[in-house]
A and B are shown apart, each in its own frame.
Chain A
């Protein structure tokens, strides 16, 4: 059996973060928001480009979409999550997460339900276009509806993982 060593390490982050000087949390957050705002246009362009790619490869009329990789769809959706801070409050990050969950469950169960995928793509586009102007109730209904679609048509995204079920 291997030896296990345990010891305390005080990081430089721990030592310095509370030292006198620096800036107030209020100012730090204000500056950070301004920094993000400066990237808002390219981030939104990236979201739009990713949505366009999803559409071009996975929309109903796309020839050969059955040959497309679901893993690619997962990665495209994750890419939206990456930069969705620029659309904070629109709910697009939550919808992208639901699409990832759908793909994940689909891969696990070996199914490909195009209608479910299309519903998610429509929701992404809806939230991109109008998410920021929706009420919390409307936005919440869209997002919770996606989880219901996945659960009803494919499987429960919150079900135990096959490798750990019953463990």
Chain B
């Protein structure tokens, strides 16, 4: 998608965003950005455990969670949200922020059902771009015994004419494409 231009408008006034980060400063940075973007209601928590109650008790339209936290981390929290039964919040877009460089964690973010795994540090422009991207995300939601979340086939790439089909004309993107750097 094209990046939003300065004259585009963003309307988050009717939305509730849950931000989770055990690092108080990092939590405040993300919260400042979301407040500046005009989010209607912002809920902050420093632990995933405390956030579970929020998810169970009220509608949340967007979740931004740190990946690495003591106790329940952002990955386990994401998997828990996606696995909820009869809860609208299970479909909420989840941005999983991570300072991790280990490739296994990026793959893990995909496999627990995050909408997007985003590298820290994240700046306002990068977060805005990701919000627009997620808002336009047309992937189907997948439910099975082993996975719940957006279709992990991140991008469908059509093969050129004359190239033999491997998966009925589509190539499944590598999971690395899920990593969107914040730079």
Partners in one complex: yes
- Which residues of A line the B interface, CB within 8 A? 2-9, 11-14, 16-26, 28-29, 31-36, 38-39, 42-43, 46, 75, 78-79, 81-85, 88, 93, 97, 100-101, 104, 161, 163
Residue of B29, B35, B132 touching A83 (CB-CB under 8 A): B29
Residues in B with CB closer than 8 Å to A4 are 142-144
Given A21-B11, A28-B10, 11 further pairs, Cβ under 8 A:
A4-B143, A11-B61, A16-B13, A24-B7, A28-B37, A31-B37, A32-B127, A33-B124, A82-B26, A85-B29, A85-B122
B128–A29 CB distance below 8 A: yes
Once the chains are docked, how many angstroms separate the CA of A7 from the CA of B140? 5
Task: For A98, give the chain B residue with the smallest CB separation.
Answer: B101
Give the secondary structure class of A's interface. helix
- Which residues of B line the A interface, CB within 8 A? 4-15, 21, 23, 25-26, 28-29, 32-33, 35-38, 59, 61-62, 68, 91-93, 99-104, 120-125, 127-128, 131-132, 134-138, 140-146, 151
Residues in B with CB closer than 8 Å to A8 are 138, 140-141
A5–B144 CB distance below 8 A: yes
B25–A11 CB distance below 8 A: no
Q: Which of A3, A34, A83, A97 has the most CB of B within 10 A?
A: A83
**Given that A28-B128, A46-B25 are contacting pairs, would A14 and B33 also be in contact in the complex, using a CB cutoff of 8 Å?**
no
**Given that A9-B91, A11-B61, A25-B128 are contacting pairs, would A17 and B135 also be in contact in the complex, using a CB cutoff of 8 Å?**
yes
Query: Can you list 24 pairs linking A and B with CB atoms under 8 Å apart?
Result: A2-B145, A3-B144, A6-B141, A8-B138, A9-B91, A13-B61, A17-B131, A19-B11, A20-B9, A20-B11, A21-B11, A23-B10, A24-B7, A24-B8, A32-B32, A32-B36, A39-B29, A81-B121, A82-B120, A82-B121, A85-B29, A88-B121, A88-B123, A104-B101
Once the chains are docked, how many angstroms separate the CA of A46 from the CA of B24? 11
Q: How far is the CB of A18 from chain B (nearest CB, A)?
A: 7
Residues in B with CB closer than 8 Å to A17 are 10-12, 15, 131-132, 135
Once the chains are docked, how many angstroms separate the CA of A23 from the CA of B135? 17
B143–A5 CB distance below 8 A: yes
Residues in A with CB closer than 8 Å to B9 are 18, 20-25
